[in-house]
Structures are given as structure tokens and as C-alpha cells.
Amino acid sequence: MTAHSPDIVIAGGGLSASLAALRLAPAGRVLLVDAKPDPLAGHTWSFHDGDLDASQRAWLAPAIRRTWDGQDVRFPGYGRQLRAGYASLDADSLGAALQRLPNVTTLQARMAAMDGRSLTLSDGGRIEARLAIDARGFRPHPAVEVRFQKFLGQELRLTAPHGLTRPVIMDATVPQQDGYRFFYLLPFDDTRLLVEDTYYSDAAHLSADRQRADIADYAAARGWQVAAVVREETGVLPITLRLDADAFWKSLPPGVPAIGLRALRFHPLTGYSLPHAVRSADLVARHWQQGPWALAKALRRDSLADARAQGFYRLLSRMLFEAAAPDERRRVMERFYRLPEPLIERLYAGRSTLADKARILTGRPPVPVAKALRCLPGTLKERPA
Ligand SMILES: Cc1cc2nc3c(=O)[nH]c(=O)nc-3n(C[C@H](O)[C@H](O)[C@H](O)COP(=O)(O)OP(=O)(O)OC[C@H]3O[C@@H](n4cnc5c(N)ncnc54)[C@H](O)[C@@H]3O)c2cc1C
């Protein structure tokens, strides 16, 4: 190591790596190594207020593009204003927050191998540090069985105000196809909004041209005239049906700290990973000076505890994908959004109580998934195929 070596080198420069760098600065020098020239490009990352505590919201604040006081959901027979606040980061806001940190640098390079203190690059170069972290994003693994939340979104600039004041996190009044389908709307200002055509689907494939046409139709049906498509983003997020967390962690090298989707840190039912990345960043800040083994152990312990606590959400994912017919999924979601708001907020935050779980499964009146569950006892089993 030289005087110019980073304290921490991270393989990957996406969300989890960037948040770890943001959380750490100015305590340590961080180098983010990513194969892509602009790893944050084409992303908007959102979260619900209740997902984070006050201190987490405070250190994340410089990276936030926009916050809102509430959010809406819409179904054919039912619409609701939810009081929970919502916030979004995007490539520009997170990138600008990182650029203000002199201790954080980036390098475009592909990592070929790593251990807890170094990266070997595909061109043979080597980077040493006090600590190396793996944040290379999702990869399929035999210990986890997933389905998909997939979407194409366009940030539109309209010729006149759209009239929305809050995000519409689900507009499921649209025709259902390819699983559960809804539009997601983020009004950044009076005339700018992100419109995403989203599917909870068994297949990962996206037809970009078709989704672009569907977004244009959706906007036209609301009388919105598009002045410009400012940018576009696509995502295929894993939704977890089954997970053998012990087998997963046994397959990882024990002395290499892992964060983000690489470590399967995301909500099994929504695919959201920002709250997990924030929590991992806090752990990195707390343990990095103890070296790679101590940090890897703390992250693994947190992940295993979380995997145990999230079994209920994997059960809900199985019920949604396996017990409910594709055209019934919207009805399942509509019933869910009729439940009390605190219960909905705790589900998003991954903190459902026993009473919440009972209420979701039994419902008043009984939810269709409960019926489906009785019909399909195999649905209860959690064993990756
Ligand atoms: C468009 C989009 C929108 C999303 N919206 C939300 C949201 O609103 N809220 C939410 O919580 N979640 C959201 N997600 C889901 C999830 O939070 C993101 O996928 C998130 O970016 C995952 O963070 P990560 O750091 O694990 O992986 P990534 O952000 O995917 O970063 C991994 C990085 O590692 C790099 N890499 C991989 N292999 C190598 C290698 N060998 N060498 C060097 N670099 C390498 C990749 O180039 C990549 O940039 C969204 C996902 C997408 C795609």
C-alpha cells in the first residue's frame, strides 16, 4: 500500500457502493471501481419515509432529489391517498453528492478477482487497501429463487402542468397483461414526471418499444402533451420466492464484505434495496476500521437475521406468483391497500408484526390469497428449486 492507496476500495460503483461512500466520508478515502463509465446513469431510487430512521435520513439528505408528503394508489374500484412520505434519489442528485466529497474517487475498470484487502483488475492491475468490499450487484444463485418486477420508465417534460402533487406508486387501473401491471408516477415538478410501465411477471423479458408506446398512450389518455422525453430507465428487479440464506452465505468467501444486491440485500416482495443499502452503509461505517473479517461478519450476521425476519414476505411473493392466477394478482394487491396504513408502512419497511401478518393472511373480509393458500399447501414450503 502507498500513501495514496484508498482506505476502502469497492468493486462496483452502483447504489450500495455509493451510499457506503457517502456514509463514510470524510472518515476514509474510498475508491469506487466500476466497469461502466457512469454506473448511476438511468436510475431513480425511491423509498418510503418509514423505511429509514431520522439519522439515516439525515446523512442521505444531500443525495435526495425530491421528497413528497404522501403517495396515492389507484385500482379500478378503489383509490386511496396514503399519508406516508416518499423520496427519490437519481443519478444526478446522488452523483452530485458524491462529487462534493474530496475523499471519494472513481475508476472505470473491470474487477477480475478480489479478497478482503485488494482488487485485481481484468487488465492485470492491482489495487490494495485496508479493506475491499464487493458491491457488484445481482447475480443468479442456486440458493435463491426469484421472479421479476420489470419496468420501463420515461421522465417526461409536458407542455402544460400534469396536476399531480404526490407520487402515484401504483395506478393499476390499466389493462392487466404479463402478470400484475401498473403505472408508477413521480411528479418532480409541475410539468416534469417519471412515468413507469411496471409488471410483476414470471418472465424477465421486456419489450421496450411496446412499453414506450404504452407510456405514450397512457400520457395521451390523460391529456398530457409530451414536449420531450428527458431520459429513460429500465429495470428487472428480483422478487424472492425462496431463499436458503445459510447456503448462500456459505458459498461466499468469508473474509470479503459484501453489500447490496450482491449480498441479496433487498425486500423480497418489492425488490427495493435502498433501505438495506443504507443499513449496510451504517455497518460499514461502524466496523471498517476493524478490518475485512470483522466487517464481513457483521454484514453476514445482519443479513442472516434479516433473511429470517423476511420469511413472511417470501411467502407473500409465493402466494402472489404461485397461488394467485396472473389476472387475480391485481385483486390481491387491491385488498392489501385497503388495510390500515400503519400496517402497509410496516410491510414496506420490512417490520410487519405478528398481528399484521395474521391480518394480511386472514383479512376482514378474507383475502383471496388466503383461499388460494388453502388450495395450495405446497405454497407454504420454502426450498429453492
Ligand atoms: C432502473 C432501476 C430503478 C430502481 N428503483 C428502485 C427504487 O426506486 N428503490 C429501491 O430501493 N430500489 C430500486 N431499484 C432496485 C435496486 O435498488 C437497484 O438495482 C440498486 O441499484 C442495486 O444496488 P447495488 O449496489 O446492489 O447494484 P448496482 O446499483 O446494480 O451496482 C452494481 C455495479 O457493479 C458493477 N459491476 C458488476 N460487476 C463488476 C465487475 N466485475 N467489475 C467492476 N464493476 C462491476 C456494475 O457495472 C454496476 O454498476 C431499482 C433498480 C433499477 C435497475
How much is the pTM?
0.93
**Cis bond leading into 140, ω under 30°?**
no
The domain boundary residue, chosen from 309, 328, 350:
309
> Would residue 77 count as lying in a domain?
no
CA atoms within 13 A on the CB side of 101: 26
**Which of 98, 186, 272 has most ligand 1 atoms within 8 Å of its beta carbon, as the pocket-test mutant?**
272
CA 151 to ligand 1: nearest atom: 1
What is the reported pLDDT for 91? Answer: 97
Considering the domain architecture, whether residues 211 and 281 belong to the same structural domain is answered as: no
> Would residue 60 count as lying in a domain?
yes
CA of 10 to the centre of ligand 1 (A): 14
∠ CA 255-259-263, nearest 5°, is 85
Pick the closest to residue 48 from 307, 299, 284, 341 (CA basis): 341
Given the DSSP bridges, would you call strands 192-201 and 144-158 parallel, antiparallel or unpaired?
antiparallel
Given the DSSP bridges, would you call strands 64-68 and 8-11 parallel, antiparallel or unpaired?
unpaired
The helix-helix angle for 274-287 and 15-24 (nearest 10°) equals: 40
> Would residue 74 count as lying in a domain?
no
Domains held by the chain: number: 3
What is the reported pLDDT for 384? Answer: 62
- In whole angstroms, what is the distance from residue 63 CA to residue 56 CA? 12
Nearest residue (CA) to ligand 1, atom 29: 14
Considering the domain architecture, whether residues 102 and 216 belong to the same structural domain is answered as: no
What is the reported pLDDT for 329? Answer: 87
The domain boundary residue, chosen from 202, 220, 240:
240
What is the reported pLDDT for 120? Answer: 97
**Which of 30, 45, 274 has most ligand 1 atoms within 8 Å of its beta carbon, as the pocket-test mutant?**
45
What is the reported pLDDT for 370? Answer: 52
What is the reported pLDDT for 162? Answer: 98
Cell 492485470 belongs to which residue? 124
Pick the closest to residue 39 from 7, 11, 9 (CA basis): 11
> Would residue 72 count as lying in a domain?
no
Given the DSSP bridges, would you call strands 168-171 and 144-158 parallel, antiparallel or unpaired?
unpaired
Residues β-bridged to residue 242? 145
Considering the domain architecture, whether residues 304 and 316 belong to the same structural domain is answered as: no
What is the reported pLDDT for 367? Answer: 46
Considering the domain architecture, whether residues 104 and 118 belong to the same structural domain is answered as: yes
What is the reported pLDDT for 361? Answer: 85
Considering the domain architecture, whether residues 119 and 248 belong to the same structural domain is answered as: yes
The domain boundary residue, chosen from 240, 274, 300:
240
CA of 14 to the centre of ligand 1 (A): 5
Cβ proximity of 168 and 74 under 8 Å: yes
Nearest residue (CA) to ligand 1, atom 19: 237
What is the reported pLDDT for 383? Answer: 64
> Would residue 385 count as lying in a domain?
no
Considering the domain architecture, whether residues 287 and 301 belong to the same structural domain is answered as: yes
Write the pLDDT tens digit of every residue in 349-379.
899 999 999 888 886 444 455 554 443 444 4
**Which of 22, 31, 34, 51 has most ligand 1 atoms within 8 Å of its beta carbon, as the pocket-test mutant?**
34
Regions of the chain short of the pLDDT cut 50: 3, 364-367, 372-380
Considering the domain architecture, whether residues 49 and 171 belong to the same structural domain is answered as: no
Considering the domain architecture, whether residues 44 and 133 belong to the same structural domain is answered as: yes
Domain that includes residue 120, residue range: 8-65+88-142+244-309
> Would residue 298 count as lying in a domain?
yes
Nearest residue (CA) to ligand 1, atom 53: 235
Nearest residue (CA) to ligand 1, atom 17: 273
- In whole angstroms, what is the distance from residue 13 CA to residue 11 CA? 7
Considering the domain architecture, whether residues 177 and 302 belong to the same structural domain is answered as: no
Q: Where does ligand 1 bind, in terms of residues with CB under 6 Å?
A: 11-17, 33-36, 39, 43-47, 110-111, 135-137, 233, 235, 237, 260-262, 271-274
Write the pLDDT tens digit of every residue in 206-249.
899 999 999 999 999 999 999 999 999 999 999 999 999 999 99
